[in-house]
Chains A and B, each alone.
Chain A
Amino acid sequence: MGKLILFGFLFLSMSGKAQELFTMTEPASNIASGSVSLRIDNSIMDEINSSKNNYHLIPELALGISKKLMLRASTFFSNRTEKFRNEGGSIYAKYRFLSNDAMQAHFRMAAFVTLSYNNSDIHQEEISLYGHNTGFETGIIATKLLRKVALSSSVSLLRAYDNGNDNTFIYGLNNSKAVNYSISFGKLMLPKQYRDYRQTNLNLMVETLGQLNTGSGRYYVDIAPTVQFIFHSQSRIDISYRKQVSSNLLRTAPNGFFIRVEHNFFNIF
């Protein structure tokens, strides 16, 4: 039944339409004003010291409020506890405050805020507002696009609070704050030359994702290569593998696959 629902979601999202470039991080650009983007994110993470895979299903709905502002709502499901269940949700807002456009090029900067609620147990020192912790995060993103290559970087501050269902943040107030940073590189591989909107686009990306806990000084650094397909200039599928490169933080399941299916509906409000 669970599988059936998943396939149903995948199928539904295929018929929609999609927008942004990077997988693990957001670029400074927003989705078009008046447009809606629907995503179904799936993480299949290998739990350390067990044979279990943690499956996270995160449906997301984003709205282009204006040319500079977008909002996104996400809700978190996972099978990490005994059964597959909903564990909370988050709201994300991104404001593009700088935009220098040129032919096939831009440099843009944006600021973002995430508010997240989660009611699962706290099981790792790593702070993640993407399906693990209640908390907030705020930061800035800078993205440079030059023809077929995009380079993006972000820095943010995050703070974890106690999770819902009386699940306390057990690592202490001092260790509840962290800095996240990322460097992402993407390249359009195909088509070699654009002819029409129905051509399938192939993008390759590599992202480096890091966290430094400002209390304990402990950190992680991950790398995540991605293959991305864009269909009919509207829908997209990303397949990534996230791998821990270095860490001294307690983490439950740092390595695994990530699959995103996205569809964009342009100009619907």
Chain B
Amino acid sequence: MKKFLLLTALSVSLVIKAQVNKVSLQASGLTCSMCSNAINKSLKTLDFVLKVDADIKTYSFEISFKPNSVVDFDLIRKKVESAGFTVSAFYATLSFSNIPLNAGKPVLLQDKTLLFVNAKNQILDGDKQVKIIDKGFVSAKEYKKSNYPVPAAGSYHVTL
């Protein structure tokens, strides 16, 4: 039954050769530069991360990745949490090439499944920024409003 569901999901979703170009996240719960540095150094330990540009003023981190690496959004989130803080915004810039987005249909990206929320039917082309809106990727306050159910591992609710 599980296999059947999986096959169904695969057949209705769009397999695309998209790339995660960068992730930009904002961390909350901190003021001091030493705390920001703890996050900065924690993110740099991920093997698929090429570079972390920290903006201490806005508590945001722009992360670029090694070529052909598989980017794990959950691991990025966990690195911020292990430094003692919380992700309050998480944006991923993805490259698409003429991918039709049909409402309600998941989009496969590397090993991840993207569940677009409130998106109109359209053709995705070029670099697009998506925002992950699942628990742990937005502030507790923001999550309370949307309250999307926790998706299966590797799946993410996103908005364009």
Task: List, in ascending order, chain B residues with CB within 8 A of A105's CB.
Answer: 28-29
A102 to chain B, nearest CB (A): 6
Cβ contact within 8 Å between A197 and B57: no
For B41, give its contact among A100, A104, A148, A266 (CB under 8 Å): A266
Cβ contact within 8 Å between B31 and A147: yes
B77 to chain A, nearest CB (A): 12
For B38, give its contact among A19, A96, A104, A236 (CB under 8 Å): A19
Task: List, in ascending order, chain B residues with CB within 8 A of A66's CB.
Answer: 82
**Which residue of A has the minimal Cβ distance to B141?**
A102
**Interface bin, chain B:** 20 to 34
Given A99-B29, A197-B37: A34 and B82 interface contact (C-beta under 8 Å): yes
Cβ contact within 8 Å between A266 and B29: no
Cβ contact within 8 Å between B54 and A197: yes
For B32, give its contact among A30, A35, A201 (CB under 8 Å): A201
A124 sits at the interface (CB 8 A)? no
Interface hub of B34, B42, B83, B140 (most chain A Cβ within 10 A): B34
Cβ contact within 8 Å between A21 and B32: yes
> Roughly how many angstroms separate A19 CA and B84 CA in the complex, as a whole number?
11
Given A35-B38, A100-B140, A194-B57: A67 and B81 interface contact (C-beta under 8 Å): yes
| Chain B interface, DSSP helix/strand/loop, else mixed | mixed
Cβ contact within 8 Å between A29 and B84: yes
Cβ contact within 8 Å between B59 and A103: yes
**Interface bin, chain A:** 35 or more
Given A104-B30, A105-B29: A30 and B84 interface contact (C-beta under 8 Å): yes
Cβ contact within 8 Å between A267 and B84: no
For A101, give its contact among B38, B41, B56, B86 (CB under 8 Å): B86
A42 sits at the interface (CB 8 A)? no
For A99, give its contact among B41, B56, B86 (CB under 8 Å): B86
Tell me the chain A residues, 58-86 only, with Cβ under 8 Å from chain B: 64, 66-67
| Chain A interface, DSSP helix/strand/loop, else mixed | loop
CB-defined interface of B122-149 with A at 8 Å, one 1/0 digit per residue?
Answer: 0000000000000000011100000000
Given A193-B57, A196-B56: A32 and B32 interface contact (C-beta under 8 Å): no
B97 sits at the interface (CB 8 A)? no
Task: List, in ascending order, chain A residues with CB within 8 A of B37's CB.
Answer: 197, 233-234, 266
Given A103-B28, A266-B42: A194 and B82 interface contact (C-beta under 8 Å): no
Interface residues of B (CB under 8 A from A): 26, 28-38, 40-42, 44-45, 54, 56-57, 59, 81-86, 88, 139-141
Interface residues of A (CB under 8 A from B): 18-19, 21, 29-35, 64, 66-67, 96, 99-106, 145, 147-148, 150, 188, 193-197, 199, 201, 230, 233-234, 236, 264, 266-267
Apart from A194-B33, A199-B33, A266-B42, list 4 A-B contacts with CB within 8 A.
A32-B84, A35-B38, A102-B139, A194-B57
Task: Offer 18 A-B interface pairs, CB within 8 angstroms, sorted by A.
Answer: A32-B42, A33-B84, A35-B38, A67-B82, A99-B29, A100-B140, A101-B140, A104-B28, A104-B31, A105-B28, A105-B29, A145-B29, A188-B32, A194-B36, A201-B32, A201-B33, A233-B36, A266-B41
